[in-house]
Amino acid sequence: MAHDAPQATGPSKLVIRNIGLLLSGAMEKPILDADTIVAENGKITAIGRFKDVNTDDATTVVNANGTTVAPGLIDSHVHPVAGDWTPRQNQTGWIDSYLHGGVTTMISAGEVHMPGRPRDVVGVKAMAIFAQRSFWTLRPGGVKIHAGAPVIENEMVEDDFKELAAAGVKLLGEVGLGGVKDGPTARKMVGWARKYGIQSTIHTGGPSIPGSGLIDKDVVLEADTDVIGHINGGHTALPDDQIRCICEGCKRGLELVHNGNERSALFTLRTAREMGDLSRVILGTDAPAGSGVQPLGILRMVSLLSSLGDLPAEIAFCLATGNTARMRALDCGIIEIGRSADFVIMDMAQHSPGKNILHSVQLGDLPGIGMTIIDGIVRTQRSRNTPPATRVPEIVGH
Ligand SMILES: [Zn+2]
């Protein structure tokens, strides 16, 4: 397990050249006309044609060998607990496995699987602050984990949110997984959280495991969280008419997860597209969960939505990158000067019948990952988890 991910030790300059296809992560222009990216000290500093950008004095040179570069994938919905261990399925190394699925950033929807999870207010706050600190210090494989997402309880008061924000907590876990399950109380607390800069999400749909409860459209719309967590259920989805009501009744993020109802995900996608609101759609896995850990879950969502939802693959990748970055105010997720140099380098899987990587995804295949890069540092080479890529990038110079 890569617990001690390498961090930059001095000035660094990464050059990725010979890029065959550059996916931007931004829906308004999903494909960029460039074959070279330069990143200095972990941030993108140039994007263009090799002859036009300054590639001198590189500390690392990657020859992409004509493959596809995209922003590192973002999982908008995970449930981490401690380091690279999850008690949900008693598994270690799950985050490192996600890195091999192209995920470079994860957002916690609550550390709710913590054994003996505290429900009293002091305990809830302490655990959130601990998780925020712990996951910012320890990045398994280099993956950036935004954690420390307390689940609201009825006894909380406004000052608790002020205190959490001052301590560095920036997220609420899924509303509904704690004692607060009614709309008015949720709305009041979500408002307090928002006032202090804490983003919120909600558990949408039927209970996930024995002990959790139903959250229907009325509670979701009244709570008014920033993200409608797993609008396609986790796993049990609301009826289609309620999903439509939520899509039409607010302008918040519409999160589709792997650990949900796939038909409902496709229904939500169609509804959002009809409304001209595809930019609201973001992707997560909701793992670890009862259905396990899905290291390729985000790639599988991209492929599902592209192949069965008739979504161009380059747009489907935006749902897993730029859309989430904007919704979550992250500095990654888009290939743009000044943003974090977090990339996934892919090619069509060997023996896919597709004409190219985008066509292969539209046919329902997964791409093969050849390399991941976080903060301008190469973290993994050929993925141990995806089908093998036809061509792979290589490090050609230091
Ligand atoms: Zn949930």
Q: Measure 45 CA to ligand 1 centroid, in angstroms.
A: 38
Q: Measure 103 CA to ligand 1 centroid, in angstroms.
A: 20
pLDDT value, residue 209: 80
Q: Measure 149 CA to ligand 1 centroid, in angstroms.
A: 13
| CA pair distance 179, 212, nearest whole angstrom | 10
CB hemisphere CA count around 22 (13 angstroms): 19
Is the pLDDT at 126 greater than 80, yes or no?
yes
Mean pLDDT of the chain: 96
% the chain with pLDDT above 90: 95
Q: Measure 234 CA to ligand 1 centroid, in angstroms.
A: 5
Q: What residues have CB less than 8 Å from 189, skipping those under 6 apart?
A: 152, 156, 161, 172, 175, 180
CB 275 within 8 A of CB 254: no
Q: What residues have CB less than 8 Å from 295, skipping those under 6 apart?
A: 94, 97, 98, 100, 101, 103, 385
Is the pLDDT at 1 greater than 50, yes or no?
no
- Encode pLDDT of 263-302 as tens digits: 999 999 999 999 999 999 999 999 999 999 999 999 999 9
Q: Measure 14 CA to ligand 1 centroid, in angstroms.
A: 39
Q: Measure 131 CA to ligand 1 centroid, in angstroms.
A: 19
- Encode pLDDT of 329-366 as tens digits: 999 999 999 999 999 999 999 999 999 999 999 999 99
Q: Measure 308 CA to ligand 1 centroid, in angstroms.
A: 24
C-beta atoms surrounding 336 within 10 Å: 18
- Encode pLDDT of 111-122 as tens digits: 999 999 999 999
- Provide mean pLDDT across the span 96-104: 98
pLDDT value, residue 397: 83
- Encode pLDDT of 184-227 as tens digits: 999 999 999 999 999 999 999 999 888 778 999 999 999 999 99
- Provide mean pLDDT across the span 147-156: 98
- Encode pLDDT of 63-80 as tens digits: 999 999 999 999 999 999
Q: Measure 205 CA to ligand 1 centroid, in angstroms.
A: 8
pLDDT value, residue 2: 46
Q: Measure 216 CA to ligand 1 centroid, in angstroms.
A: 12
Q: Measure 203 CA to ligand 1 centroid, in angstroms.
A: 4
Q: Measure 383 CA to ligand 1 centroid, in angstroms.
A: 29
Q: What angle do CA 128, 380, 37 make, to 5 degrees?
A: 100
Is the pLDDT at 62 greater than 70, yes or no?
yes
| CA pair distance 378, 383, nearest whole angstrom | 12
Q: How confident is the model at residue 7 (pLDDT cuts 50, 70, 90)?
A: low
- Provide mean pLDDT across the span 229-253: 97
pLDDT value, residue 4: 54
Amino acid, single-letter form, for residue 364: G
pLDDT value, residue 9: 74
Q: Measure 126 CA to ligand 1 centroid, in angstroms.
A: 22
Is the pLDDT at 5 greater than 70, yes or no?
no
Q: Measure 137 CA to ligand 1 centroid, in angstroms.
A: 26
| CA pair distance 43, 204, nearest whole angstrom | 36
- Paired residues of 14 in beta bridges: 39, 60
- Provide mean pLDDT across the span 135-142: 95
Q: How far is CA 179 from CA 119, 129, 156, 218, 366, in A?
A: 8, 20, 10, 17, 40
Block residue for tokens 């289609």: 240
| CA pair distance 161, 194, nearest whole angstrom | 9
Q: Measure 353 CA to ligand 1 centroid, in angstroms.
A: 36
Q: Measure 208 CA to ligand 1 centroid, in angstroms.
A: 6
Q: How confident is the model at residue 234 (pLDDT cuts 50, 70, 90)?
A: very high
